[in-house]
Each structure stands twice: as structure tokens, then as C-alpha cells.
């Protein structure tokens, strides 16, 4: 049984990064979610990519 990886979504033959935008930022950003293709069908390549994107996205909001 495989575990679900947060932010990882398979679309056809490739993986994508997908994350919900917090309610308080949706009006400012104009979106409910952020998605970006990882341009790979290889899960072992996609997993490090999603975590790098997550860090990059949330870094401006850190302390």
C-alpha cells in the first residue's frame, strides 16, 4: 500500500505540485489553489521537487 504524498498530484503521465491557498490570501492572490507541473513522470524525481516548491512558496511568510 502506498502513502499519499502531500501536494503531489498525477495528471496524465506527469506529476504536478498542488496546494490550497489560505482563505485570507485568496482575494489578494486571486486563486484558490496553486498548481505547477513538475515536468516528470518519475515519482522519485517528483517528490523532492514538491518539497522544494513548498519551501520556496512559504519562505516569504516565515519568521
CA distance 59 to 49: 15
* Amino acid 59: pLDDT: 80
* Amino acid 37: pLDDT: 95
Mean pLDDT of the chain: 89
Place of cell 511568510: 61
Nine-digit cell at 21?
A: 491557498
High-pLDDT (> 90) share of the chain, %: 59
Q: Is 51 left (phi over 0), alpha (psi -120 to 50) or beta?
A: alpha
Nine-digit cell at 19?
A: 496546494
Report CA-CA distances (Å) from 42 to 1, 20, 33, 53, 60: 18, 23, 23, 17, 29
pLDDT at residue 58 above 90? Answer: no
* Amino acid 55: pLDDT: 87
Amino acid at each position: 500500500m502506498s502513502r499519499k504524498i502531500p501536494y503531489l498530484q498525477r495528471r496524465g503521465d506527469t506529476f504536478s505540485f498542488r496546494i490550497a491557498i489560505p482563505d485570507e490570501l485568496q482575494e489578494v492572490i486571486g486563486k484558490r489553489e496553486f498548481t505547477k507541473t513538475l515536468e516528470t513522470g518519475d515519482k522519485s524525481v517528483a517528490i523532492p521537487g514538491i518539497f522544494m516548491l513548498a519551501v520556496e512558496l512559504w519562505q516569504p511568510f516565515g519568521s
